[in-house]
């Protein structure tokens, strides 16, 4: 029999549901952990655009109408203790305080790929709370971001853009050693062959690159990956890589794995791309490798810490591209995130298996 869940949702602003959603008996309040923009945008789009943009809208509207929704946010009145205590599910809420109060909680939908702040909560294991995320919805967009960084670095487009801004035709008078390179024939090592890493591998192979990878769950992989190794083979595989792409989730095993020893293993001509988690990289070791010429360059969408302080040397190194954790912020990825959220709401109400389940023990 379908259930009638009470869903606790994180959001930054109070929502005004459109007429087709008005039958949702909602308590709309506003409080959210600062910086949870992904959840804010997800919920805003769910409320404002589910009627137009998401496939299966009739089922989605039915789901929303069958749920009692409380928004737990940063402005205005917070969700009441009674609402939290009665919640069956949360979207974007995973704090120890809320988990301690939400005794009925069965499911948490996290509005991003990385779930380290959830899996570190002991009650997740103690109470066997179901955790789902949005990892696979972000893979294609993040993979294109990776390929963009690889092309900019290998073709030195950042240098030529600066010359363009100065009106300088830099044909024969570029810096010594400036040499454009093709991606075809190069080897890329994808560290973390999950939902994101697989999409990186697919696109790299399409450009004629040789793809190797590591993954914690085993040695199996798609046909376009030449070799899949276990995490303890990272250094061995890194020796032959022209590019290394960090797609790993943040777990105790992946924290700090891109360190002095790792960078010393790479060829001086190699590039490091990071879209996984910033804390997988020891920032001081990365800076030292770049400054010493032991690493040709880096493309960083994630760093440690975030935001990156203005005084960080990374901002001023000529062979570094930095984007502020935006590799999945595209319109296509947003529609896919909304679709998974709505589908998981529908499945939860119907008592069906959920999409994108997280293994709490593994941390991803």
Query: What angle (nearest 5°) sits at the alpha carbon of residue 46, between those of residues 40 and 52?
Result: 140
Q: For 236-239, which contacts have Cβ atoms below 8 Å and span 24 or more sequence positions?
A: 237/189, 237/212, 238/189, 238/262, 238/265, 238/266, 238/270, 239/265, 239/266, 239/267
Helices (H) and strands (E) in the chain, counts: 13, 12
Question: How far is Cα 162 from Cα 145, in angstroms, rounded to an integer?
Answer: 21
**Catalytically annotated residues:** 277, 306, 325
The two structure tokens encoding residue 195: 């939902």
Tell me the angle at which helices 37-53 and 331-350 cross, rounded to the nearest 10 degrees. 80
Q: What is the CA radius of gyration of the chain?
A: 22
Enter the DSSP assignment of 80.
P
Q: Of the candidates 273, 202, 220, 210, which has an alpha carbon nearest to the alpha carbon of residue 240?
A: 210
**Secondary structure of residue 128 in the 3-state scheme:** coil
Cis peptide before 307 (omega within 30 of 0): yes
Phi and psi torsions of 338, nearest 5°: -60, -40
Number of C-beta neighbours around residue 192 at 10 A: 25
């Amino acid at each position: 029999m379908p259930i009638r869940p009470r869903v606790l949702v994180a959001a930054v602003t109070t929502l005004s549901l459109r007429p087709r959603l008005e039958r949702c008996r909602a308590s709309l309040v506003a409080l959210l952990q600062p910086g949870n923009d992904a959840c804010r945008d997800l919920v805003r789009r769910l409320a404002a655009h589910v009627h137009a943009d998401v496939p299966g809208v009739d089922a989605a509207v039915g789901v929303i109408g069958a749920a009692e929704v409380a928004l737990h946010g940063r402005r205005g009145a917070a969700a009441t203790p009674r609402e939290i205590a009665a919640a069956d599910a949360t979207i974007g809420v995973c704090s120890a305080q809320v988990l301690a109060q939400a005794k009925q909680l069965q499911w948490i939908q996290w509005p991003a790929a990385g779930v380290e702040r959830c899996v570190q909560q002991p009650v997740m294991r103690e109470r066997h709370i179901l955790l789902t995320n949005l990892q696979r919805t972000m893979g294609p967009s993040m993979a294109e971001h990776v390929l963009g960084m690889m092309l900019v670095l290998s073709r030195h487009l950042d240098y030529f853009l600066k010359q363009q801004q100065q009106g300088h035709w830099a044909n024969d008078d570029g810096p010594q050693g400036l040499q454009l390179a093709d991606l075809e024939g190069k080897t890329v090592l994808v560290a973390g062959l999950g939902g994101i890493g697989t999409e990186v591998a697919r696109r790299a192979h399409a450009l004629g690159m040789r793809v190797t990878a590591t993954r914690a769950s085993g040695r199996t992989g798609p046909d376009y990956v030449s070799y899949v190794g276990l995490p303890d083979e990272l250094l061995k595989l890194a020796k032959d890589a022209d590019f290394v792409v960090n797609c790993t989730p943040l777990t105790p095993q992946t924290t700090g794995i891109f360190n002095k020893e790792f960078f010393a293993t790479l060829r001086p001509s190699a590039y490091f791309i990071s879209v996984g988690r910033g804390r997988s990289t020891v920032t001081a070791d990365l800076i030292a490798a770049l400054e010493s010429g032991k690493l040709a360059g880096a493309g960083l969408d994630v760093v440690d810490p975030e935001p990156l302080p203005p005084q960080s040397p990374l901002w001023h190194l000529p062979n570094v591209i930095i984007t502020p954790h935006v590799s999945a912020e595209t319109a296509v990825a947003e529609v896919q995130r909304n679709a998974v959220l709505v589908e998981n709401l529908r499945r939860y109400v119907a008592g069906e298996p959920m999409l994108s389940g997280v293994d709490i023990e593994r941390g991803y």
